[in-house]
Amino acid sequence: MTKVVSIIALAFGLAACGGDDSDQTEETVAPEEGVATEQDIEAILDTENIPDVIATVNGEDINKDIYVANLEQQASQLAMQGFDLESEEGASYLQMVEDSLIQQIINERLIIQAANEEDIQVTDEEIDKEIEQLIGQMGMETEEQLQELLDEQGVTMEELRADVIDFIKRDKYIETNINVTSPSEEELQSAYDERVAMVDEETEVPDFEDYKDELEYNLVRDREQEQTVELLENLREDSEITIHI
């Protein structure tokens, strides 16, 4: 997977395959004087000494491009938020990011391998739809703008479409292999009561009927995440995984 495509991969939700699912704010602050530059980040991460193959999953090597691109991006976001990446706290946090990222990439590869074993197919129409959504998510208006970005990085549209196929296969495999049921009225009411009990008396909480759709969405999402984690655990048990970092 190419560097530019690995960055684009974030738009498709790499973390959905077993990363930290906690909510993260996207708001950043302006960098303060002394905040690490792009060159500083590369030096801090020591990307030159990362092996070309970061992991081998069931005999398939994963090269370092996607790992380095995502790691640099996350480190840059931390620096923009005021983290001192060279401090003890910053180094500890970066280590957690590194550990989480390699596991996410391995999980992604495991699911795509399983999808290929099940011969999951992807249509041209599905690819076109995903690329159209990607263009919007990246703040672009036309495919020509996306092509310009790819050209700058020496990546072809065919390479991008190949990666999009993998993302679609991943989603189809998960959807096929989990079985999430809609919560009952009693479960929704229980979730509502728990939410009400967690806030102070001065906080205004919407009525149950007004809040029900959001509660249902959150419960379904939690169940999907739980079953996806279980699915990945089963895949990992039956797989040979070697991490080279």
Mean pLDDT of the chain: 85
The answer, yes or no, to whether residue 28 has pLDDT greater than 50, is: no
pLDDT at 70: 87
pLDDT in tens, 87-142: 888 889 899 999 999 999 999 999 999 999 999 999 999 999 999 998 998 889 99
Question: Which whole number is the average pLDDT over 183-195?
Answer: 95
* Count of domains forming the chain: 1
pLDDT at 36: 60
Question: Which whole number is the average pLDDT over 207-218?
Answer: 95
CATH number at residue 196: 1.10.4030.10
pLDDT in tens, 53-79: 999 999 999 999 889 988 988 888 888
Question: Which whole number is the average pLDDT over 236-241?
Answer: 97
pLDDT at 105: 93
pLDDT at 24: 40
pLDDT at 40: 78
pLDDT at 33: 45
Show the domain range for 106. 3-243
Q: How far apart are CA 222 and CA 79, in angstroms?
A: 31
pLDDT at 42: 79
